[in-house]
Chain A
């Protein structure tokens, strides 16, 4: 009983910190994009507009949540919470310091699996809305997520082969002392890192791979019919996904919590923030690719490249154990 309570408490603390971090992340993105666009961004709510995400959240809570006529009500309602659950659950596997974490032997499998099944709530939303835009968005999302999961996994296999373990703790341990896989061995480490980041953009539906929502084409894609907090779930899930995805990438390629002087969590947060900034820098700089160009990019270039990197990593792991 006590253990259950403790577990619950830890869970609440962990969830709260991730959601707070996400709220800060949203604020940071809004400030960053505003500065890129010669704007100021949020300034009114709280110091430097820091409370803007909270205000947005409260606004969404107050809004009426509509369910369109003829929609599949159960799927429509469940999709959003399911989506955010998957995004948050991934965070549980990221080691934040040497002595925390689940200590699983196969943490990476869970991370990849939770990332890959995010497509299910998205398709649920797209199908259940009974809206043509949502349906098109859902179809695109499925095609994209199924395709990009392949090079993502291939890129993630490179650190696995180099470290010789599927455990995220083990992968971090193998990179200690600045032997980050993105730096050393530079080949295939660095290209695999770049590939992983690219696929992460596609997984988190960020420009140039944000075609499932593509608001200039599909109005709002899968979220077209969603209002209020039901929309908020998807919105939040995207940011959690980006944030946690950055943390996973930092763990796999940038040594995770490893770093001198400061405690592990600081290093992980700093590395995650750098990747997060890069993702949003890309988002606010580039245009969007077309759905078919996305597919051809994935299957014609990224998958073969990923395969090549895996072979190279395997060969390297044999040569220098």
Chain B
């Protein structure tokens, strides 16, 4: 694979003076804390240089000091838009090392929570993306609030299950911490119905809206070869025409028995990424209905609860577990040395890979497009910087 030239400045002949612009970290649409150093010729971007690290908390180093069971609530904060998937990727790596069999009910519940989280995450993405395109004082915020209204339904479900609205700590080594409360399945069905009924509204305000299409079609085309070379996964990769989804290609939880329709698009532009996420949202709605209807009976944890975290040890070894988070392959690689905490722990965050595409696809676009492209990649800075 040939990586396209990154240094556009060397060969660029500007019409006038170039302007260096720091897009972020204090900017309404840099998704928290990201800085992109842009070199502009008028409104056209000549070079883009993303700087990450503003949200660095040293989580991976912290993991070397905390005990295994203390890690799930900390890791919730990585991808703060889909906390459930963080926990799952973490405990699955530990379970691999311990060779614990997770009971069917727990695996089923994990898959269901993952899919619910995907719906919530894609809703939030759609809301913030249209906010980027349409502004906080205008149609963008209208769609944003609609999306948050439906996302709230899912947070309510999680709250009923775990008692917490956001940083759940719902998973534990060997299974889940909480069994479903009475009437929860019916509540899930009701919430899914309500969201499904409103998907056409989202379509009307996004992919079926002339202005939205004008702003996204042909903008920020990410070629499949470049995406593969940069290790981009998830909807961003699928929108570039690569048929890859860990739920089908490396099944975990219950996905070896539950077939998942993998949505792909060829164009690789912002519009394709929107289409992919919207269709994934609908696919997740279908999966959730299926999973909540077929939740098997049985225990929800395959290991005894840990009473003394400092005494809980994992034998020496290495393991890598990855799941398909709403943003792509979210993996945890853990090296255990036999002690009560990991010797080394590494997170493979899909958002970091997505951001690495910016220097390649931003040049040549106008500054307005930069906002759209950044938004369409769905980066979550919490997991980029960790």
Interface residues of A in 197-224 (CB under 8 A from B): 207-208, 210-211, 214-217, 219
A289 and B215 form a contact (CB under 8 A): yes
Measured in the bound complex, the distance between the Cα atoms of B133 and A287 in whole Å is 6
Measured in the bound complex, the distance between the Cα atoms of B134 and A39 in whole Å is 19
Measured in the bound complex, the distance between the Cα atoms of B134 and A283 in whole Å is 9
A216 and B135 form a contact (CB under 8 A): yes
B366 and A291 form a contact (CB under 8 A): yes
Q: Chain A: which residue is nearest B145 at the CB level?
A: A37
Interface presence of B356 (CB below 8 A): no
A219 and B211 form a contact (CB under 8 A): no
**0/1 per residue, A278-317, Cβ < 8 Å to B?**
0000011111111111000000000000000000000000
B47 CB → nearest A CB, Å: 16
Contacting residue for A216 out of B19, B133, B214, CB 8 A: B133
- Contacts of B236 on A, CB cut-off 8 Å? none
Interface presence of B115 (CB below 8 A): no
Contacting residue for B369 out of A284, A285, A287, A290, CB 8 A: A290
B134 and A207 form a contact (CB under 8 A): yes
Interface presence of B149 (CB below 8 A): yes
Q: Chain A: which residue is nearest B27 at the CB level?
A: A219
A289 and B135 form a contact (CB under 8 A): no
Interface presence of B259 (CB below 8 A): no
Number of chain B residues whose Cβ lies closer than 8 Å to a Cβ of chain A: 32
B142 and A288 form a contact (CB under 8 A): no
Q: Chain B: which residue is nearest A36 at the CB level?
A: B142
B368 and A286 form a contact (CB under 8 A): no
- Contacts of A210 on B, CB cut-off 8 Å? 135, 138
Measured in the bound complex, the distance between the Cα atoms of B144 and A33 in whole Å is 13
Q: Which of A217, A219, A291 gathers most chain B CB within 10 Å?
A: A217
B214 and A289 form a contact (CB under 8 A): yes
Interface presence of B161 (CB below 8 A): no
Interface residues of B in 77-99 (CB under 8 A from A): none
B138 and A207 form a contact (CB under 8 A): yes
Given known A215-B28, A284-B142, A286-B211, contact A132–B134 (CB-CB < 8 A): no
A217 and B368 form a contact (CB under 8 A): yes
A132 and B21 form a contact (CB under 8 A): yes
Interface presence of B182 (CB below 8 A): no
- Contacts of A39 on B, CB cut-off 8 Å? 145
- Contacts of A100 on B, CB cut-off 8 Å? none
A216 and B145 form a contact (CB under 8 A): no
Interface residues of B in 100-146 (CB under 8 A from A): 130-142, 145-146
Interface presence of B54 (CB below 8 A): no
Interface presence of B7 (CB below 8 A): no
Interface presence of B29 (CB below 8 A): yes
Measured in the bound complex, the distance between the Cα atoms of B140 and A292 in whole Å is 20
Given known A216-B28, A216-B140, A219-B27, contact A290–B135 (CB-CB < 8 A): no
A136 and B209 form a contact (CB under 8 A): no
A53 CB → nearest B CB, Å: 15
Interface residues of A in 20-65 (CB under 8 A from B): 33, 36-39
A286 and B209 form a contact (CB under 8 A): yes
A288 and B209 form a contact (CB under 8 A): no
- Contacts of B255 on A, CB cut-off 8 Å? none
Given known A207-B135, A215-B28, A287-B209, contact A38–B145 (CB-CB < 8 A): yes
Q: Chain A: which residue is nearest B219 at the CB level?
A: A290
A290 and B139 form a contact (CB under 8 A): no
**0/1 per residue, B189-223, Cβ < 8 Å to A?**
00000000000000000000101101100000000
Interface presence of B303 (CB below 8 A): no
A217 and B145 form a contact (CB under 8 A): no
Measured in the bound complex, the distance between the Cα atoms of B29 and A289 in whole Å is 17
A301 CB → nearest B CB, Å: 13
Given known A287-B209, A290-B215, A290-B366, contact A215–B145 (CB-CB < 8 A): no
Contacting residue for A287 out of B19, B149, B212, CB 8 A: B212
A137 CB → nearest B CB, Å: 11
- Contacts of A286 on B, CB cut-off 8 Å? 134, 138-139, 209, 211
Measured in the bound complex, the distance between the Cα atoms of B369 and A215 in whole Å is 14
Measured in the bound complex, the distance between the Cα atoms of B371 and A219 in whole Å is 11
A136 and B43 form a contact (CB under 8 A): yes
Measured in the bound complex, the distance between the Cα atoms of B141 and A289 in whole Å is 15
Interface presence of B367 (CB below 8 A): yes
Q: Chain A: which residue is nearest B23 at the CB level?
A: A217
B29 and A216 form a contact (CB under 8 A): yes
B140 and A214 form a contact (CB under 8 A): no
B56 CB → nearest A CB, Å: 24
- Contacts of A292 on B, CB cut-off 8 Å? 43, 366
Interface residues of A in 208-254 (CB under 8 A from B): 208, 210-211, 214-217, 219
Given known A210-B135, A216-B131, contact A290–B142 (CB-CB < 8 A): no
Name B's A-contacting residues (CB within 8 A): 19, 21, 27-29, 43, 130-142, 145-146, 149, 209, 211-212, 214-215, 366-369, 371
Known A39-B145, A285-B139; 14 more pairs at CB < 8 Å: A38-B149, A136-B43, A207-B135, A215-B137, A216-B131, A216-B140, A216-B371, A286-B134, A287-B212, A288-B215, A289-B215, A291-B368, A293-B214, A293-B215
- What are 6 sample pairs from A and B whose C-beta atoms fall under 8 A apart? A37-B141, A207-B134, A214-B135, A287-B209, A288-B138, A288-B215
Name A's B-contacting residues (CB within 8 A): 33, 36-39, 132, 136, 140, 207-208, 210-211, 214-217, 219, 283-293
The 8 A-B residue pairs whose C-beta atoms are closest, nearest first, are A287-B134, A207-B138, A286-B139, A37-B145, A216-B29, A290-B368, A287-B133, A287-B211
